[in-house]
Structure 1
Amino acid sequence: MTDALTAVAAEHAGRWKAERGRAPHYATGHEQWWTCLACPLDGCEWHHDDRHDAPSAPAVLEALVREHVAGHDVADVLASLTAARDATAAVNASNDRAWDVVRLRRQEAAERGEHPYSDEVAQQLSAALVGHADHQAVRDQLDARPATTTV
């Protein structure tokens, strides 16, 4: 595996774990960012934080990852990475479907002679998808409403 591929695979695994409440993938401190290379195996909390402003040499990162992964069964590592890939593909497909709705709503607004970005639902969904600060307005509206039970 090349240095770049090793780093990408380890970072991907770190993100996957972080999304499931495990080892962090990014952290901030003193306005600096770190990339966290993490083991993809459930139950293994190994990770290595690498600063963006002073990154380790790719060969050093590859050696760290290889040294750690060598302690695991290769089939377990591959199964974990495959599961992460499949989960990521499902999230990406869901994201694509949501963007289809945004594009349709914008196109419909344009066909009505309105500005494509005038559709409020498309704007709210777009803000949610990109993590824009405008999405906070949706959360504020939800927080202001009484809790309801949905079926």
Structure 2
Amino acid sequence: MSSTERQAAEHAGLWKADRGKAPHYTAKGFLSTGWTCFSCPLDDCDWHHDDDVSRPSAPAVLDGLMREHLASHDLVDFLRSLQAARDGIVAVRESNNRAWDVVSLHRLRAVRRGQHPTSDPVAQMLSAALVGTVEHDEVRRELTELSEGVAGAQGIASVPASARQAG
């Protein structure tokens, strides 16, 4: 198994764990015990292999396990997962486009009022969120601060994917 394939299988395990799917543990808790989970990348498949990092399996063994498992799926399983991924990407693009429409609307309203296009604070925050600038960290910080003491609002701020994977 190449390092790219190994990373993809590890990523699939983390992704599924983050979403409450098999493997049935939290990614952070499980990884801290010294195990690496290799998981089937197909959406509806719970197969996974846990590998002890203190005694890792030989790459050829991992490759054999993954190939044997993947061979148990037929072409329709792969096509179904690819279509679901495509549908998800289209939905995200459409959502992104709608959010940019809101940014454009706020910017044009500012221009119509004789202001600079980026003077609208809502447009600035939404634009920062969409492009992932450092300024969006301020929004997360304020969300966390405002949610303290509000029932059901704990953990309301999003967590960047890079922080979830590193944690």
Q: Same fold per TM (> 0.5)?
A: yes
Query: Using CA pairs below 8 Å that are at least 6 residues apart, which structure has the higher relative contact order?
Result: 1
Name the residue aligned to 1:95.
Answer: 96
Deviations for 1:74-122, whole angstroms, at most 9, x for unmatched residues?
0000011101111111111111100000011001101111000111000
Q: 1:131 offset after TM fit, Å?
A: 1.3
- Which SS does the other structure have where 1:72 is aligned? coil
Name the residue aligned to 1:118.
Answer: 119
Identity of aligned residues (%): 44
- Would you say the 8 A contact 1:102–1:122 is kept in 2? yes
Deviations for 1:44-87, whole angstroms, at most 9, x for unmatched residues?
559xxxxxxxxxxxxxxxxxxxx685552100000111011111
Q: 1:141 offset after TM fit, Å?
A: 1.4
Letter in 1 for 2:130: L
Letter in 1 for 2:46: G
Q: Distance in 2 between matches of 1:95 and 1:143?
A: 24
Letter in 2 for 1:39: P
TM-score normalised by length of structure 2: 0.51
Find 2:41's aligned residue among 39, 43, 60.
39
Cα distance change, pair 75–123 in 1 and its aligned pair in 2 (3 A): same
The CA RMSD measured in Å over matched residues stands at 3.7
TM-score normalised by length of structure 1: 0.56
Cα distance change, pair 19–93 in 1 and its aligned pair in 2 (3 A): farther
- Would you say the 8 A contact 1:106–1:119 is kept in 2? yes
Q: Distance in 1 between matches of 2:123 and 2:142?
A: 17
Which structure carries more strand by proportion? Answer: 1
Count of aligned residue pairs for this structure pair: 111
Letter in 2 for 1:117: T
5+ long unaligned stretches in structure 2: 1-7, 20-39, 50-66, 154-167
- Which SS does the other structure have where 2:118 is aligned? helix
Letter in 2 for 1:83: A
User: Are 1:132 and 2:144 matched, yes or no?
Assistant: no
- Which SS does the other structure have where 1:116 is aligned? coil
- Would you say the 8 A contact 1:102–1:125 is kept in 2? yes
Name the residue aligned to 2:64.
Answer: none
